[in-house]
Amino acid sequence: MVLGRIAITGAAGTIGTAVRRALRSEAELLLLTDRVPLRAEAPNEEVRPADLSDPAAVEAALAGADAVLHLGGIPDEAPLAALLTANVLGTHHVLEAARRLGIGRVVLASSNRAAGFYPAGHLTSPREPVRPDGLYGVSKAALEALGSLYADKFGLSVLCLRIGTFAPAPVEPRDLATWLSPRDAVGFVRAALTAPARPGFATAYAVSANTRRFWELPDRDVLDYVPVDDAEVHSADVPGAELPTDPTAPQAGPYARPEFTLRHLG
Ligand SMILES: NC(=O)c1ccc[n+]([C@@H]2O[C@H](COP(=O)([O-])OP(=O)(O)OC[C@H]3O[C@@H](n4cnc5c(N)ncnc54)[C@H](O)[C@@H]3O)[C@@H](O)[C@H]2O)c1
């Protein structure tokens, strides 16, 4: 058992469900929190309902954890007020609870969409300035900034994972670059939770070893995991996979279009 007591926010969600099941046998205890109903599925799971907008509830949910995996939040474009509450204030409450409780390691679910306006022909590094492709991307840029603040000012160890497209398999052409397989997602999360505890902050892309990827894979000294899946293996099942891609088009693809954000602007 390499993992200690791990708290997971957003544990009822798509990634939370997959990660929870994969890490269950390796963790001493999984403290699962979400605002929607959840059930313990093993003796080492404990469910602690909380809304991320409620700081006291978040602190109660994380009490006793050695590390936190913060997945909870709105995972797509939405009105800014909703994103600020769930993704920005919610992350603040998680980091603040970690500081108050003395939890050394916090892993934050960021998104590639914090930098979706880099062109597809560019291999983007997480050390480059953010270029959000919408309001959701802005909320993830703020999440990363909060993580950096809590590392620099309060000595927490914070790792942000800029998650690609989490799915069982790629389904559209953009996914051939951005896919994150469930197996690689678990690999990145495990590495982030178990990386040597030292104060500091880092951001890394969590993406499979896709032939067409346009994001840097993490430095091994930041995150000791080498992804094993490649979306190319599934390209025959992806309609349009053979069409040329425009290297000047944004990495975010359709998410970068004005309409995608305009419908949330009233
Ligand atoms: N799925 C992807 O491909 C992808 C890509 C990039 C980043 N991410 C990020 O990874 C994380 C998990 O994504 P997912 O696909 O599992 O999303 P999801 O929507 O399936 O899960 C998110 C969970 O957060 C919970 N939640 C939302 N608001 C909450 C609140 N105010 N209080 C408490 N719980 C709340 C929801 O109930 C849900 O169970 C998100 O932060 C998302 O932004 C996901």
Q: Tell me the pLDDT of the chain (266 aa) as tens digits.
A: 579 999 999 999 999 999 999 999 999 999 999 999 999 999 999 999 999 999 999 999 999 999 999 999 999 999 999 999 999 999 999 999 999 999 989 999 999 999 999 999 999 999 999 999 999 999 999 999 999 999 999 999 999 999 999 999 999 999 999 999 999 999 999 999 998 866 699 999 999 999 999 999 999 889 999 999 999 999 999 999 999 999 999 999 999 999 999 999 97
Domain architecture of the chain: domains with CATH = 3-262 (3.40.50.720)
Which residue's C-alpha comes closest to atom 23 of ligand 1?
10
Q: Is 12's C-beta closer than 6 angstroms to any atom of ligand 1?
A: yes
Q: Is 109's C-beta closer than 6 angstroms to any atom of ligand 1?
A: yes
Angle at 197 between CA 192 and CA 202, to 5 degrees: 55
Distance 224 CA to ligand 1 centre (A): 24
Helix 182-194 and helix 14-23, axial crossing angle in degrees, nearest 10: 70
Q: Is 75's C-beta closer than 6 angstroms to any atom of ligand 1?
A: yes
Catalytic one of 118, 136, 225, 255: 136
Q: Is 61's C-beta closer than 6 angstroms to any atom of ligand 1?
A: no
Q: Is 116's C-beta closer than 6 angstroms to any atom of ligand 1?
A: no
CB burial class (10 A; 0-12, 13-18, 19+) of residue 108? buried
| For the CA of 36, the nearest atom of ligand 1 | 37
User: Which residues 6+ apart lie within 8 Å of 131 measured at CB?
Assistant: 114, 115, 116, 117, 118
Q: What is the pTM of this model?
A: 0.98
Does 136 participate in catalysis according to the annotation?
yes
Distance CA 46, CA 31 (A): 5
Which residue's C-alpha comes closest to atom 2 of ligand 1?
166
| For the CA of 110, the nearest atom of ligand 1 | 7
